Amino acid sequence: MKHIVDLAKNRGFVFQGSEIYGGLANTWDYGPLGSLLKENLKNLWIREFVQRRPDMVLLDAAILMNPQVWVASGHVGGFSDPLIDDKNTKERFRADKLIEGKITEIVTEALKQNEEWVHLEKNMDEAGNLRKALQLHPAIYNQIITEKVLKKYWVPNQIPESWTPEQQLNFMKCEDVRNPNNPDVKADWTEIRKFNLMFETKQGVTDDSTAKVYLRPETAQGIFVDFPHIVRTCRRRVPFGVAQVGKAFRNEITPGNFIFRTREFEQMEIEFFCEPGTQKEWHEKWKVACKKFLMETVGIKESNLRFREHEKDELSHYSDWTFDIEYDFPSIGFSELQGIASRTDFDLKAHMSESKQDMSYFDPVKNTKFIPYVIEPSIGLTRLFLATLCDAYDTIKDEEGAERIVLRLKPEVAPVKIAVLPLVKKLNEKAEEVFTLLSNNFMTWYDETGSIGKRYARFDEIGTPWCVTIDFDNTMEKNMVTIRHRDTMEQEIVAIDDLVDYFKKYL
């Protein structure tokens, strides 16, 4: 992860937010390359799930919504994390995350006593870390968890987030869970409180509490609230879906791991409305479609992706059934990249009851009225950005044996598609002509400084799939250029007149 963060910062993918003032914790700016990469991911997602499907439309709802929306959706009452303070240091933590850390420690200790440890250790070397070794041996893991956690503490599962505050505090006290930043001293923990993750702000000039509004914690509610308008105006019949891309905000207690978990992030969400009783069938279809998008369109390797079904106690308040697509993030391990939830009719029903508006759907063919069920494929755009960078990151040895980075992004995903490189500065006039031709069609950068080898390396590092070289023999004499391919390093001579068509085959 450190290599990814360094590359992102040094090459203009992601900068720390307001850095000249010392930064603001956990805020990130997407730089010249990062903003292009993010835009490409977003546009590919819209192309795949809106443009190419007759059963999908797009929406762009407001970030600020009537606060009643969040009462109905359950976010005012239930969108919270268990918060605990260490009175010694006045630091604040998520209790469930501290417990998860302790459980990993307990399992590690227990594993060392297990006779199969030798075998596990072998796998640990292969897999690189303990987490992976555990994932390879779920039976041993489950046995240890049952003995050392579930039976010992009378808790229903291994997901501390779903335990009661009393169960969480009891575990922390009995296991002497320490403050990770002050592990040598016994922590002086407070009680556990529920901390609502929604950011509050005030709308208008008055300072009274009735002006309180929230920054949306998910984009989904805009879709639910606008459902009747969409049905009326777009003449879509259920089953159909609505897609939306936009910012969401959560006052996460423990953000971190670079842009993996941030307080301000972007989501790409789909609410797919279907007839009650058909939700399982649609859920399966969306699982396939989402994985296909990640692999075939974004280019993420299948071996780094897996599905994980949520356990009953882990489900969000609106869901009867959820699958995550997890990505094997470096330093983090397999973690949620995308959720695909069966959201039932919870939201439309809740808004119908709160707003007293009719949110049901009338099927003109069957002459029936019902509240649709919803399948929700929801992915973090900024989290997908991180997965894409991690997955494309590769290193090779140059002729001198030094290691250098090659970002193997798919051409459609790459921020800069083509680099135009005059072999020497003297060729700049012709090179600028080629640049104008290409940049009218594709995101193209121009670079005339440094040796040609250094320039190739610079563009490999930011994932540019092609470099177009302008030279004396081919270009000035024959009106042709050399195209150098990033992944194979092969070179091809192509007529300038054919260049745009050449690249259009790929983009």
Looking at beta carbons only, is 266 or 471 nearer to ligand GAP? 266
Measured from the CB atom, the residue of 246 and 422 that comes closer to ligand GAP is 246
Quote the CA–CA distance of 174 and 4 in Å, as a whole number: 39
Q: How far is the CB of 34 from ligand GAP (least distance, A)?
A: 15
Task: Identify which of residues 268 and 481 has a Cβ nearer to ligand GAP in the complex.
Answer: 268
Give the residue ranges of DSSP H helices in 422-492: 428-439, 452-461, 478
DSSP string for residues in 320-341? SEEEEEEEEETTTEEEEEEEEE
User: In this structure, which amino acid lies at residue 335?
Assistant: S
Q: How far is the CB of 266 from ligand GAP (least distance, A)?
A: 8
Which residues sit at the interface with ligand GAP, rule CB under 6 A? 218, 220, 250, 252, 261-262, 265, 267, 269, 336-339, 376, 378-380, 382-383
Question: Is the distance from CB of 450 to CB of 476 less than 8 angstroms?
Answer: no
Shortest separation between residue 339's beta carbon and ligand GAP, angstroms = 4
Give the alpha-carbon dihedral of 31, 33, 35, 41, to 10 degrees: -150
Report, in Å, the least distance between residue 325 CB and ligand GAP: 8
Residues with Cβ within 8 Å of 439's Cβ and at least 6 positions away in sequence, in order, are none
Q: Which is nearer to ligand GAP, 328 or 376 (CB)?
A: 376
The residue among 265 and 286 lying less far from ligand GAP, judged by its C-beta, is 265
Query: Going by DSSP bridges, is the β-strand pair 91-94/80-86 parallel, antiparallel, or unpaired?
Result: antiparallel
Smallest distance, ligand GAP to C-beta of residue 449, A = 37
**Cα 94 from chain centroid?**
21
The residues facing 267 across adjacent strands are 246, 380
Instruction: Supply the minimum distance, in Å, between the C-beta of residue 267 and ligand GAP.
Output: 5
Task: Give the residue at shortest CB distance from ligand GAP.
Answer: 380
Our CB check for ligand GAP shows the closer of 155 and 379 to be 379
Of 325 and 480, nearer to ligand GAP (C-beta) is 325
* CA-based nearest residue to 463, from 421, 504, 413, 423: 413
Helices 95-113 and 138-145: crossing angle in degrees, nearest 10, is 110
CA distances from 34 to 128, 259, 387, 414 (A): 29, 12, 13, 10
CA 245 to chain centroid, in Å, comes to: 12
Q: List the Cα angle 96/390/417 in 5-degree steps.
A: 140
Taking the complex as a whole, the smallest distance from the CB of residue 205 to ligand GAP amounts, in Å, to 31
| Residue 290 CB, nearest approach to ligand GAP (Å) | 11
